[in-house]
Structure 1
Amino acid sequence: MDETKHHRKRRMVEKEKSSDSSEDENYVPYIPVKQRKNKQRQEIEKRLGRAEALKEEEGMKDSTNEEEEEEEEEEEETEISQGPKSHLSLLDQHNELKKKAEARKESAREKLLKEEEKILESVAEKKALMGVAELAKGIQYQESIKTGWKPPRYILAMPESRHEKIRKKWHILCEGEDLPPPIKTFKEMKLPKPILSALKKKGIIHPTPIQVQGLPAVLLGRDMIGIAFTGSGKTIVFALPIVMFCLEQEKRLPFIKNEGPYGLIICPSRELAKQTNELIHYFCQALESNGYPSLRVLLCIGGTAIKEQLEVIKRGVHIIVATPGRLMDMLNKKMILLDVCRYLCLDEADRMIDMGFEEDVRTIFSYFKGQRQTLLFSATMPKKIQNFARSALVKPVTVNVGRAGAASLDVIQEVEYVKQEAKMVYILECLQKTSPPVLIFAEKKQDVDAIHEYLLLKGVEAVAIHGGKDHEERTWSMDKFRKGEKDVLVATDVASKGLDFPDIQHVINYDMPEDIENYVHRIGRTGRCGKTGIATTFVNKTVDESILLDLKHLLIEAKQKIPPFLATLHTESEKYLAIGDDVGCSYCGGLGHRIADCPKLEALQTKQAQNIGRRDYLSHNSADW
């Protein structure tokens, strides 16, 4: 019995062992789901012949893992370096953190600048500002026009360091090849005695900074872009040389019938053209009364009889001062020929080139039969226009006194928050600030008429001008105001560009213009020729925030008082407003934004998207021409 029990137990143990061994043989270890999926994917990709793609993916994973590991190591290092047991002082830690922050900031700036360059390239005109024939034939002039004028020998003998010292003293920024030397007196510029005495009669004894550098450049025959704040004497820089060049031509060979002009000056408005014409006439009469040959000057503007203008042309004309509309009309009808014209000046050039006017200028260029000396002048000329204008110029000299678009420091700027319905009444209060004469600007023609009527009802001696009024009425109003027979002139922006009112005490902006450039031109009607003036601007919630930001930064630049409602305005992009030498927007010149946020550019792109032609977009200016 015992043996049988023993055998049974032994068989059972052997059975259990055999079952255990079979279970060990059949045992499959646990594989995580992720590994199983990877294995399946690898098998599938091998079957499909994508082994290379798999390797690349694995390599990318490895590199990202390495980068993550490096970042973790860096973080660990910074944590260690900033820990309490660090061997670095707190000052060293601070400097390290500062360097890292600056490096991050620089990379953000570089990224922003690249983006802005792309935007500027996308809106830049691809066609050069040249005549059609010149573009078609590929004509490019390499050398500037030669003139009979040269600076005094002793000035030419002076070292360049002396010239730079003068430029630095007068805050003159000058760019270009072979820069002409600055000359500090009119006598050293070799101007005739009648011209010197005529300047003295006008109270002009010493040249202004733009004249110190600009006159030698123009007299030498160089193409030039002149930028200076309003009231700085830009008109004399192009008016005097054209008189001298025409005098030289008349002495060599007198102008015959139907010949001329030798010089052409284009102005954006009739009033500015009339003012420029009067100044040139003044110099020509001063020369003629002292025995010099007579020079004929023609004012070619809309609203005047063409018959009278044709009579002057038939006699032979030396200088034409014109507005683009009338000039193009007479050129198309072949009443004026530019065969012998060698001098072209665009006054307030940014207004004529910006926003589509370059087509008109290019058309005028096409009527020239040879090389001409080209001059562009303005108080506000953004880099976009400067770069574009250079395509028409030969070895240009850029003379910049102060920042392009900066407000005159002789103007005290006051910005006041006035509700829309209270503006009209508040004008009377503002008129008490100073004695007359006073200029009031408004955006709309109907506002000008309403203000004019209101002031007349209140017993104020006022006149008004805008593009809707006829030429006689505009001329009469301007003359009465200039002579001091009227105390207040109410106007649209037709009176803001270039007009010289030497004794204006106060400029009132009934509304903030839609463009900061127009604001600079408006307030520039006061504080001229070294005198001080006041500019009061009404703003309220109807004004766009981007314009208010531009205004705020313009006031900061001119070190003016910032009202509380402007001081509270901030944007995220304010920290990038000044990058190196580039300040504000490179498209419109506004200081309160960069080109990516430019409302002017956005408006232009919107109009183009709506397929509205440029002429339709600018038609409101046609009456002012």
Structure 2
Amino acid sequence: MNTAEFSALPLKPALLDNIESLGYSKLTPIQAESLPHILEGKDVIAQAKTGSGKTAAFGIGLLSRLDLSSFRVQALVVCPTRELADQVCKEIRRLARFTQNIKVQALCGGVPFGPQVGSLEHGVHIVVGTPGRLQEHLRKGSLRLSNLKVLVLDEADRMLDMGFEDAISDVISYAPNHRQTLLFSATYSDPIREMSRHYQYKPVTVSIEAHHHDSDIEQRFYQIEKAGRANALGYLLAYHRPESTVVFCNTKKDCQNLANELESSGFSVQCLHGDLEQKDRDKVLVRFANKSCSILVATDVAARGLDIKDLQAVINYELPWDPEVYVHRIGRTGRAGKKGLALSLCAQQETSRVKAIEDYQNKPAIWDEVAPFQMKHEHRFAPPMVTLHIDGGRKHKVRPGDILGALTGEAGLAGSEVGKIDIFDLQSFVAVQRGSVERALARLKAGKIKGRSFKVRKAS
């Protein structure tokens, strides 16, 4: 079932106008295949990776089902990580911005419980949350699902990978049996089929080709000595000089060790793994997304929900055992018509993993060579931006415009010198061009934001 234009779908005029105002006209493949079924109220199991347009597919579906006069929870989206839940919330709010009084609430761990209870008491139409925090609210009675119409399980494969199977089962036990259930997963494994059998009724299966076109992503493999892995990575980073690279390791320990080695060799690097506290994770992701850090070393689980625009390269420091995981890793680069680079290091004893990838993608691997390179400390290419950390956020009524105004006011910085601004509950981050950072720091320290003085420093 393939419909090319949003205007051909049976959508409410206000929703259609807003979709068009956001610049969406043609449906992505996953939207074209899934949305007609979703709008008919059918259960859908869809194989689709991050960046495929899946959030808009289920977002439009659930917005079209709402009864706005009833301030009860009518749609629930369950996500594996807080970052993904935040992205989903933002996308649904964008899709709903011209429809008045739609209340969307994020329920994630790592933030205070009390304010979430207060928001729920005022009435909410759509809840987006992580399994653990949803369980807490359901057990305490602050979240009720008796009026639920649509349940979405987003990135279901990663929720299973992260050990959320029992938590998901518990959350769903509070939902009515007569509901629409939409299940989205990047992979289509036996555990996902089992999950579908458990929670869905006669689902329509939609699968979008998960392989990548040569035109999008250039894939290269490098055979290396196991002991020379770090030097080989250093060579690839120095040779290609990407502004933004995710380097994947298979374990938290390797992740931290590699980040330490890269940092001591002068590279701009941050580490992302499951042991980070939420506020530190936020800071890492902000710095990487705003281009004030060039390299992110991550495990698969920690990188879940990561959606960085203009990611130039993905490097597999270690190849995964599962070729589907490889395809999912490299799919984060080469998006929106841009070229991407996927580079993989492979020791002699790991060549069977490359064979599995060749079989999965149905094409031969292209091998290349690394030149001799020694990791040693020297000044490497610095990222274009520097992040300033402000000890004030949403709770202090700070908005992006307030920070921009404080920086660019009379005799201040040009707007072009200021990059991405991220506001959290108690802190904010602003990216500033490297050459302008001292002026920006002096200006924020000397002036006021929202009539108040806040502590400001370079993020590290």
* Aligned twin of 2:365: 561
* Aligned twin of 1:428: 234
The structure whose residues are more often helix, as a share, is 1
Cα distance, 1:484 vs. partner?
Answer: 2.2
Distance 1:354 1:499, change over 3 A: closer
* Aligned twin of 2:89: 277
- Hey, what's the Cα distance between the residues in 2 that align with 1:202 and 1:457? 44
Partner deviation per Cα, 1:427-486 (whole Å, 9 max, x = no partner): 222123253121111122222222323333333332222111110111111122222222
- SS of the aligned residue for 2:2 comes to coil
1:276-315 alignment runs, 5 A limit: 276-284=88-96, 286-287=97-98, 292-315=99-122
- SS of the aligned residue for 2:258 comes to helix
Cα distance, 1:382 vs. partner?
Answer: 2.4
Answer yes or no: is the 8 Å Cα contact 2:222–2:367 preserved in 1: yes
Cα distance, 1:398 vs. partner?
Answer: 0.8
* Aligned twin of 1:101: none
Partner deviation per Cα, 1:461-519 (whole Å, 9 max, x = no partner): 32222111110111111122222222222211135444322311100111112333322
Answer yes or no: is the 8 Å Cα contact 2:150–2:181 preserved in 1: yes
Amino acid at match of 2:206: V
* Aligned twin of 1:216: 36
* Aligned twin of 1:512: 319
**Which ranges in structure 1 are unaligned for 5 or more consecutive residues?**
1-180, 566-625
Distance 1:304 1:356, change over 3 A: closer
The two structures have a TM-score, normalised by structure 1, of 0.54
- Hey, what's the Cα distance between the residues in 1 that align with 2:120 and 2:218? 46
2:56 to 226, 233, 236: 236
- Hey, what's the Cα distance between the residues in 2 that align with 1:468 and 1:544? 31
- SS of the aligned residue for 1:363 comes to helix
Distance 1:232 1:297, change over 3 A: same
The structure whose residues are more often strand, as a share, is 2
Distance 1:453 1:271, change over 3 A: same
- SS of the aligned residue for 1:311 comes to helix
Cα distance, 1:275 vs. partner?
Answer: 1.7
- Hey, what's the Cα distance between the residues in 2 that align with 1:194 and 1:460? 49
Partner deviation per Cα, 1:94-129 (whole Å, 9 max, x = no partner): xxxxxxxxxxxxxxxxxxxxxxxxxxxxxxxxxxxx
Distance 1:450 1:203, change over 3 A: farther
Answer yes or no: is the 8 Å Cα contact 1:269–1:494 preserved in 2: no
Corresponding position: 1:465 with 2:272: yes
Amino acid at match of 1:448: C
Distance 1:504 1:297, change over 3 A: same
Answer yes or no: is the 8 Å Cα contact 1:496–1:521 preserved in 2: no
Cα distance, 1:560 vs. partner?
Answer: 4.9
1:396-545 alignment runs, 5 A limit: 396-402=203-209, 406-407=211-212, 410-431=216-237, 432-433=239-240, 435-543=242-350, 545=352
1:350-389 alignment runs, 5 A limit: 350-353=157-160, 357-382=164-189, 385-386=192-193, 389=196
- SS of the aligned residue for 2:46 comes to strand
Amino acid at match of 1:215: L
- Hey, what's the Cα distance between the residues in 2 that align with 1:196 and 1:228? 23
What is the CA RMSD across the aligned residues, in angstroms?
Answer: 2.7
1:53-202 alignment runs, 5 A limit: 181-191=1-11, 195=15, 199=19
Answer yes or no: is the 8 Å Cα contact 2:246–2:295 preserved in 1: yes
- SS of the aligned residue for 2:151 comes to strand
Larger radius of gyration: 1
**Which ranges in structure 2 are unaligned for 5 or more consecutive residues?**
370-460
* Aligned twin of 1:262: 74
* Aligned twin of 1:331: 138
Cα distance, 1:269 vs. partner?
Answer: 2.1
Q: Percent identity?
A: 35
- Hey, what's the Cα distance between the residues in 1 that align with 2:349 and 2:276? 28
Amino acid at match of 1:479: V
